Amino acid sequence: MSSLFLRNLDEHLQLMTALRTLEPQVQAAGQRLAAVLSGGGKLMFCGNGGSAADSQHLASELTGRFIKDRRPLAGLALSTDSSALSCIGNDYSFDDVFARQLEGLGRAGDGLVAISTSGNSRNVIRAVEAAGRLGIFTLGLLGRDGGQLLGLCDLGLVVPHSVTARIQEAHILIGHTLCGLIEAEMGLA
Ligand SMILES: O=C(CO)[C@@H](O)[C@H](O)[C@H](O)[C@H](O)COP(=O)(O)O
Ligand SMILES: [Zn+2]
């Protein structure tokens, strides 16, 4: 029997190969996100656990830098403000922690990248529903069968796997690619 590392590696490599079919959707997503930023909107990110980490990671690629030295771009993670998360979670509901921040901060023309490996996290679903009401473009980075979020997002990228960790590894590859596409589309690369 091979080691855990080799089994994980094989699973990862097989999934990465399967992701080739997502290429047209990833290109389209990059163009849509670049259009939000070019139009003066901001990109918000949300997700739970590892996807919360992905949210702040990707937002920082925009406000900081990704590949090239260029002007800062408007990226904001809704998963990082412990006061907002604990206040909204405590006083309202954990289901509202992202939606309420989005309702306060979001404007028509903005974008929301909703990251969920199951596609079924209630707080992410509520944020996407709120974004829809506000005229905010929604991109889902999803897994498994896309869950409920697939039908709710304007565009959904589904990583077709059942293991959360493998899906997250694919999400960060796609997320980095989206950052590269944003820089290229905006003439910043
Ligand atoms: O990172 C991991 C597992 O790799 C976990 O923290 C994971 O993100 C959490 O269980 C999340 O709550 C899962 O939420 P979701 O991806 O289904 O929306
Ligand atoms: Zn994880």
Q: How many CB atoms lie within 10 A of CB 136?
A: 24
Helix H or strand E encompassing 111 = strand 111-116
Assign 145 to helix, strand or coil. coil
Q: How far apart are CA 188 and CA 67, in angstroms?
A: 10
8 pocket-lining for ligand 1 (C-beta < 6 Å)? no
Q: Which value does ipTM take for this structure? A: 0.98
pTM score above 0.95 = yes
Listed residue (65, 36, 44, 24) closest to 188, CA to CA: 65
Q: What is the pLDDT of residue 68?
A: 85
Query: In the chain, what are the domain boundaries?
Result: 4-185
| pLDDT digit string, tens, across residues 51-99 | 999 999 999 999 999 998 999 999 999 999 999 999 999 999 999 999 9
Q: Closest residue (by CA) to atom 4 of ligand 1?
A: 165
Distance 57 CA to ligand 2 centre (A): 14
50 pocket-lining for ligand 1 (C-beta < 6 Å)? yes
Q: How far apart are CA 27 and CA 9, in angstroms?
A: 26
48 pocket-lining for ligand 1 (C-beta < 6 Å)? yes
Record: fold of 4-185: Rossmann fold (3.40.50)
Q: How many CB atoms lie within 10 A of CB 90?
A: 10
Q: For residue 159, what are its two tokens? A: 């990583």
| pLDDT digit string, tens, across residues 86-143 | 999 999 999 999 999 999 999 999 999 999 999 999 999 999 999 999 999 999 999 9
Distance 183 CA to ligand 2 centre (A): 27
Q: What phi and psi, each to the nearest 5 degrees, are found at residue 125? A: -60, -45
